[in-house]
Amino acid sequence: MKIALAQLNYHIGNFEANTKKIIDAIAEAKSKNADIVLFGELAVCGYPPRDFLEFDDFINRCQMSINDITAHTEGIAVVVGCPIKNPKIEGKDLFNAAYFIADKKIIHVTHKTLLPTYDVFDEYRYFEPNEIFECVTYKGKKIAVTICEDIWNVGNENPLYQTCPMDFLIKQSPDFILNLSASPFNYTHPALRHHTVKANVNTYKIPMYYCNNIGAQTELIFDGGSMVYDAQGNCCGMLPHFEECIEVFDSENLKAQEAPDYTQQKYRLMYDALVMGIKDYFQKMGFKNAILGLSGGVDSALVLCLAVAALGKENVMSVLLPSQYSTGHSVDDSLALVKNLGSPHEIIPIKDAFDTFEKLLAPQFKDLPENVTEENIQARCRAVLLMAMSNKFGYILLNTTNKSEAAVGYGTLYGDMCGGIAVLGDVYKTEVYEICNYINIDKEIIPLHILTKAPSAELRPGQKDSDSLPEYSLLDSLLYQYIEKRQGPNELLALGFDKALIDRVLKMVNSNEWKRYQTPPILRVSPCAFGVGRRMPIVGKYLS
């Protein structure tokens, strides 16, 4: 039997485009003599549809799309994800389902059993879990159909659920497993997926065909990496990350190959994810042009490189906004970068605007000494100018704040923290440098001086980030343990961090939750990003 994996990029709620893409993929699979073509989880409507699922019209249009798809299934079986109504009054109104359609007939509908409600997932808010386990028979083969999380309770040292769907389905002696997935990217997940698929085939001793979505849906990025494993636990094929692709595998001729080694690929994967995150955010929202403040620092330099890769050099406007405290090399470094990339730029000094604000506020401020207030005024002057150009010319402002700064509140609300999408909000400062090094691996695109000079906001004479923060190598190490690993003060102390540092950093993180609630959506590339995956109370006292 020949099975095609159709790894595609869907647009939430864009039924016409999604349905056409699925029908075109069916035609391509037919041309390659596939018996079955497998699509991803909730492919018809896009994942995650969230509260769109509460609209009857949305569900009705899902069913209309299934009807259109069914009409194109002559001579081939199609397995595609779509929500379906629960006929029972009791329980949630919907199931997360996989339709098995062949020869213009719906042969079977499989409901998802394990509904993740953690991290970025909230499926039990909408869906009823499956309680009926049936394999599908097609062309003499018995097939176990599973949906994403249904395979993730196997090989897990700390199982989240009381059951595994395959424990029931394996009793019916299926020949292989089909899995429809919408598994979001983080830099640890490609390796975890291989571990999970291999754990399943090692447990149940049958092959698995795993199809994952690609594409960015606001903050969530799906990277694909669809794969096939044989009954002996060998990787027998894998589709590329971050690319739409359709590939056919012959179940009678699976050939073992070496599974990918992701240990040295973290920063390449992060780079590709961020580029896709920007590209899809703009395309799916109907935006074309981006703008950012280019400071001469490493964060804005990286954002510019990513945006140019995503949108094209002619569609990204850099604005240099030097203050009276900006060094000459900051402007020179920025000009060198835009020259290397061939992208447009403008220079708008902010001194006159800042001086005007100081004059306006002089009667109120009187002789009070300067402090962070004057620094924030400069940051907000820059934001006003960037947003004015955004409004006038239709640009979308790219936020350049990194995860280290966002974590400790080292940024100005309504200043450098504004924007339409936060590109680096899930990338620690030390990781920013590593991604820049990846960009420069073949030739110097980002000027070396940007990567070697001390980080500075340049809002007062001789300012350095280290005046206000611990060195980033130490800060990021502590933040990672606290945010990603959920290590509290005692655990951090046991890891060797200084108590005064722990108290200082945790206080900064927790007391700035209110700032993070007001920032743009953050592209998620880590196991724990600020936003939907990390839900902390603003007014909580714990660890503050």
Rounded to the nearest angstrom, the gap between the alpha carbon of residue 348 and the centroid of all alpha carbons in its chain is 33
As a whole number of angstroms, the distance between CA 533 and CA 512 comes to: 17
Catalytic residue of the set 41, 149, 375, 431: 41
Residue closest to 280 by CA, chosen among 214, 210, 191: 214
Pairing of strands 94-102, 77-85: antiparallel
Residue closest to 153 by CA, chosen among 124, 185, 184, 112: 112
How big is the chain by its Cα radius of gyration, in Å?
26
Spatial contact of 512 and 505, defined as CB atoms under 8 Å apart: no
80: left (phi over 0), alpha (psi -120 to 50) or beta: beta
As a whole number of angstroms, the distance between CA 147 and CA 40 comes to: 9
As a whole number of angstroms, the distance between CA 527 and CA 188 comes to: 7
41 is an active site residue = yes
DSSP assignment of 296-327: SSHHHHHHHHHHHHHH-GGGEEEEE---TT--
What are the two backbone dihedrals, phi and then psi, of residue 318, each rounded to the nearest 5 degrees? -100, 135
As a whole number of angstroms, the distance between CA 9 and CA 435 comes to: 25
CA distances from 125 to 93, 121, 218, 409 (A): 10, 9, 20, 32
Residue closest to 222 by CA, chosen among 69, 96, 41: 41
CA distances from 87 to 135, 301, 483, 519 (A): 21, 54, 42, 41
As a whole number of angstroms, the distance between CA 159 and CA 153 comes to: 6
Pairing of strands 136-138, 208-212: unpaired
139 is an active site residue = no
Question: Cβ contacts of residue 40 below 8 Å, gap of 6+?
Answer: 6, 7, 8, 10, 47, 81, 180, 181, 182, 211, 212, 213
As a whole number of angstroms, the distance between CA 23 and CA 36 comes to: 13
Residue closest to 270 by CA, chosen among 178, 208, 335, 188: 188
Catalytic residue of the set 82, 135, 148, 418: 148
Q: For residue 532, what are its two tokens?
A: 């939907």
Catalytic residue of the set 21, 45, 112, 198: 112
Pairing of strands 176-181, 141-147: parallel
DSSP assignment of 240-294: PBTS-EEEEEETTS----PPP--TT-HHHHHHHHHHHHHHHHHHHHT---EEEE-
What are the two backbone dihedrals, phi and then psi, of residue 147, each rounded to the nearest 5 degrees? -125, 115
Q: Which positions are catalytic?
A: 41, 112, 148
